[in-house]
Structure 1
Amino acid sequence: MSVARLPTVISTTAAKARTAGSAVKILAGSGIVRPVNPLGLARTGLTLARWGTGPAGGFIGLAHRYPRRTAVIDELGSLTYADLDRRSNAIARALAARGIGEGDGVAIMCRNHRGFIDATLAVAKLGADALYLNTAFAGPQLVSVLERDKPALVIHDEEFTGLLADATSAERLVAWVDSEDPGATLESLVSGDPRPVPPPKRHGRIVILTSGTTGAPKSAPRQEAGIDAAVALMSRMPMKDGWRCFIAAPLFHTWGIAHLLFAELLGTTMVLRRRFDPEDALATLAESRADSFVVIPVMMQRILALPEEKLAAYDLDGIASQLKAVASSGSALPGDLALEWMDRFGDTLYNVYGSTEVSYASIADPVDLREAPTSAGKVPWGTQMKILDNDGVPVPDGEVGRIFVGNGLLFEGYTSGGGKEVVEGLMATGDVGRFGPDGRLYIEGRDDDMIVSGGENVFPQEVEDCLMRHELVADAACVGVDDADFGKRLRGFVVLVDGAEVDEGTVEQKLKDWVKDNLARFKVPREIVVTDALPRNATGKVLRRELATWDEGSDGSDGERAAGK
């Protein structure tokens, strides 16, 4: 080692030590790092060495540490961590007897209930890959995904039997039963041999599907993230050992599965409901006395949109006093949703910006959302972010460019081949944005959503946020459509608040005037369509391709009306 390099090496070593020290401090603050019995610590270390840090190792470790702690509360009752371990052992043995083993793919199409967790743990214990299917997919989408990824088994709720009828997968198991004769069921396997299964040589992967809002959904596999994922999130969001967490976001989605995986570290009691309903959500929060609430933005919108007489039926102050964190992700917070939510339920809202491919990129905490409701906050621990131009060169702060992120959580490429663009170790999120003078990130929209109208760049999200702030508007979306004179023009779609009785022509002009008063003239939509609902997928994202092909006979109701249904 040369003397000239010694200061650099010392500096690098010191930086790593500071990083490790900050990680330990974050973990200690969440109650994860604390004095423990040396024998217990050794047993935990041995478990992780054998099983890895994924669902298998994490939940086996919890069964040893907290065997009697409640792990899951769903419509069927409650299960302890020891229960989950025994159930998944029995299921894993039964699946192995059917030929499922290391490297095989198992598709899981379940709503939020114990069957999703049973299947996930059993598949992980065998070293197989879990492919999570979107519960809002149409039959052709499902067939396409299953033919492409060729899982050896599909575990699904009975309600999806018809949708899967045209798929060629050889074997099926029903997780949630709706009839007296559903066929082979997951629950029937639970009564089998509950002894531990031998650890696989290969650790299974989790495969998340992209939302498919702009094209066919892609399969994005992930290896075990390790503890860095938890540290990144907890560096900007409170999460404590032993909390009760109502996971309303779909478990098949990146945000839902993240909190299932955090449970293996925090010993969380997971509260689950198969379908999201705004009134039921309030009742569940009150009954479960949840410490945290995991949502996608449209869920908060639907709760706040309830009539005042229905909201008054619940102890909102009591719910607000017990909630310590409302964790939102999956899409941008529209309009002033953050402020409206915090005014009603307190300053405990945290919004996470990221993607299936890069995981967590930035987190807005309550201070960020109060001071800058439209910001995406700041980067968490262990994350790098740069705003680059089309040539991969960083743009000055304040200028809009493409968002690139680097962390230990980047995905490894799509199963069908290809991936996201990478520049110097940083991966493209597919969005464009800028850093404000306050150091916060501001998202302008998808890089493929921008339209050029009459030579001017227009990002639909800014116009959507403006429309959402009008008192008549409950929901809004904008898309670019072809225009003979301007190349492209902006078309707006709005859902009016309940009880709004106005002429459509009058409302369209009012909303155009509103946008003109608040934004540049070239950002005013050339037309604004009043519709009953916006087409959304199960994670609440607007299906823009459906709006782009909208015609006069469409009312938007063909899409998923709201997340969780």
Structure 2
Amino acid sequence: MNVAMLLDMAAEGFRERVLVGRAEDGLTASRLRELSVGGARLARAAGADAILHLAVNGPAFPVALFAAARAGVPLVPVNYRLGSEQLDALLANHPRALGIAEPEQADALRRAGVPAVSPAEWLAAAADSDADGVDATEAEPADPDSPAVLIYTSGTTSAPKGVVLRHHHLVSYVLGTVEFAGAGAEEAALMSVPPYHIAAVSNVLTNLYAGRRVVTLEQFTPDGWLDLVRQQRITNAMVVPTMLARIMDTEGLDRSVPSLRALAYGGAKMPVRVIETALRAWPHVDFVNAYGLTETSSTVAVLGPEEHRAAVTSDDPVVRSRLGSVGRPVPSVELEVRDEMGAVVGAGEPGQIWVRGEQVSGEYAGQGPTVDERGFFHTRDQGRLDADGYLHVEGRVDDTIIRGAENIAPAEIEDVLLRHPDVLDAVVVGVPDEEWGQRIEAVVVPRGGARVDTEELREAIRATLRGSRTPDRIACWPELPRTPTGKLVRRDIVAGLTAEGQPVSGS
């Protein structure tokens, strides 16, 4: 199967049910298919070998996704927040693409010689092109082994790489995680991540297949998110941890969400304090922690609703610790934790996370697949599996601090910092040091104007962990640099700590 067949199934099964946008004026399943046919005709007429989407989320995005599938070319959602130099380098890879861009981004496409239309113009042109109706014989269906989407990684530690997701990867993910027509006609999902993130792609596909309407929020604010949940009677939502933290920590908000049934989160580590607060505030909501990567077509492990409730109410420290885990692998995915030599480690032992399954791509443009001889992909995440199979992710391999001859995972130090009631956000990094190679430094964001005693924080870490894991310095900043999906941009943090005139205070 290819991605377009999922839309065909939805159009036949749901017909005039609104699946994209607001209930009062959104796109029905049938209209989405019609527009995808029109968009595919536009791409073929232009001789395009890809459809570039350089715009915020909205109805143009799913139309572009399925139009690309029908045209047999990949969709390339591009980060519209990139600087001009990085954006120009990325766009140079796609000189024969058809571009969809906001007016303020159209110059970048013109510099690359790529024809561009605005999202509104794209939808209007797709509608005009479909005036003759659906012609199922117009083009051969895309080969399941052909690329469906090319997503560039965030590049928080290096230059962005293009991850190739083929049709069979995405379809395998959908079929393995969602029941067709499993959602009621009244259900609606709210997406608050940008379209160049894998969660945006996977949620279009899974909600469409389930029959659930998808609403997007272009610019997140806590009150704006809550208002939209109530206005559109949202039943399901997906957020990144920083969003949930702001919803829970902002004073004076009306946090009532009577329609909300389920909330998924992922993309970065969720502070235990935040999820505990959310579970108490919304006891009727089913929380799901979803762990995945672009290279795995989204989710590979899940901590489900009942596991959240059991953990937050348990007196057993083992059960309670699961609230800081990402749960167990989904049934269609195999997962191993290995040491640096490639040997699988035992329960509770730290190592590097490897995954295998039909949804796993592990392929980069120009490089081919990077899986091992057994088909396992190295996620470059560190973690451990407990005795009951729950996965605890402990940061990226690239984040490891090497102080002297000792490898130190920042996550364990960050966990201690985030337990402090006056700390809203925290990060630990390695800063170049002539004697030790790297020294440990941390940055914390105080909560709501609180004054944080950094020496008290250092003592808390020393009392909990070994002295060698105590930061040499803890600085206070008003906020941490993060991507829109919540990932810390550690290179900017290191640069800020090492630069002269850095915005820090030592006490």
- Normalising to structure 1: TM-score of the pair? 0.80
Residue in 2 that maps onto 1:490:
440
Q: How far apart are residue 421 of structure 1 and its match?
A: 4.7
CA distance in 2, matches of 1:166, 1:196: 32
Alignment of 1:355-374 (within 5 A): 355-358=293-296, 359-369=298-308, 370=311, 371=320, 372-374=322-324
Residue in 1 that maps onto 2:112:
168
Out of 36, 41, 54, the position equivalent to 1:88 is 36
Out of 491, 504, 521, the position equivalent to 2:467 is 521
Out of 37, 40, 50, the position equivalent to 1:105 is 50
Out of 395, 399, 403, the position equivalent to 2:349 is 399
Structure 1 spans left out of the alignment, 5+ residues:
1-51, 177-183, 557-565
8 Å contact kept, 2:101–2:116: yes
The answer as to 2:401 corresponding to 1:451 is: yes
Using a 3 Å threshold, how does the CA distance of structure 1 residues 396 and 423 change in structure 2: closer, same or farther? farther
CA distance in 2, matches of 1:154, 1:108: 6
Using a 3 Å threshold, how does the CA distance of structure 1 residues 146 and 399 change in structure 2: closer, same or farther? same
CA distance in 1, matches of 2:384, 2:305: 20
8 Å contact kept, 1:106–1:151: no
Residue in 2 that maps onto 1:563:
none
8 Å contact kept, 1:130–1:207: yes
Using a 3 Å threshold, how does the CA distance of structure 1 residues 239 and 364 change in structure 2: closer, same or farther? farther
Out of 123, 126, 146, the position equivalent to 2:68 is 123
Residue in 1 that maps onto 2:100:
155
What fraction of aligned residue pairs are identical, expressed as a percent?
27
Alignment of 1:66-81 (within 5 A): 66-74=14-22, 77-81=25-29
The answer as to 2:77 corresponding to 1:132 is: yes
Alignment of 1:257-406 (within 5 A): 257-307=201-251, 309=252, 311-312=253-254, 314=255, 316=256, 319=257, 321-346=258-283, 348-358=286-296, 359-369=298-308, 370=311, 371=320, 372-406=322-356
The one-letter amino acid of 1:71's match is: L
CA distance in 1, matches of 2:176, 2:468: 40
CA distance in 2, matches of 1:405, 1:291: 31
Q: How far apart are residue 137 of structure 1 and its match?
A: 1.8
The one-letter amino acid of 1:220's match is: V
CA distance in 2, matches of 1:228, 1:95: 26
8 Å contact kept, 1:148–1:416: no
CA distance in 2, matches of 1:555, 1:122: 47
Q: How far apart are residue 381 of structure 1 and its match?
A: 0.8
Q: Greater CA radius of gyration, 1 or 2?
A: 1
Q: Which moved more, 1:396-405 or 1:248-257?
A: 248-257
SS of residue in 2 equivalent to 1:535: coil
Using a 3 Å threshold, how does the CA distance of structure 1 residues 419 and 459 change in structure 2: closer, same or farther? farther
CA distance in 1, matches of 2:306, 2:123: 45
CA distance in 1, matches of 2:59, 2:198: 18
The one-letter amino acid of 2:457's match is: L
* CA deviation vs aligned residue, 1:254-298 (integer Å, no higher than 9, x gap): 112111011231111111222222111101111111111012222
CA distance in 2, matches of 1:547, 1:522: 21
Using a 3 Å threshold, how does the CA distance of structure 1 residues 229 and 189 change in structure 2: closer, same or farther? closer
Q: How far apart are residue 423 of structure 1 and its match?
A: 5.0
Q: For this pair of structures, how many residues does the alignment match?
A: 480
CA distance in 2, matches of 1:228, 1:119: 21
CA distance in 1, matches of 2:400, 2:438: 10
8 Å contact kept, 1:368–1:375: no
* CA deviation vs aligned residue, 1:49-100 (integer Å, no higher than 9, x gap): xxx430x222232222222101122599322112222223333323333233
- Normalising to structure 2: TM-score of the pair? 0.88
Residue in 1 that maps onto 2:148:
205
Alignment of 1:190-201 (within 5 A): 190-194=127-131, 195-197=133-135, 198-201=138-141
The one-letter amino acid of 2:104's match is: E
The one-letter amino acid of 2:31's match is: D
SS of residue in 1 equivalent to 2:364: coil
The answer as to 2:389 corresponding to 1:439 is: yes
Residue in 2 that maps onto 1:470:
420
CA distance in 1, matches of 2:8, 2:199: 22
The answer as to 2:2 corresponding to 1:53 is: yes
The one-letter amino acid of 1:514's match is: A
CA distance in 1, matches of 2:182, 2:196: 21
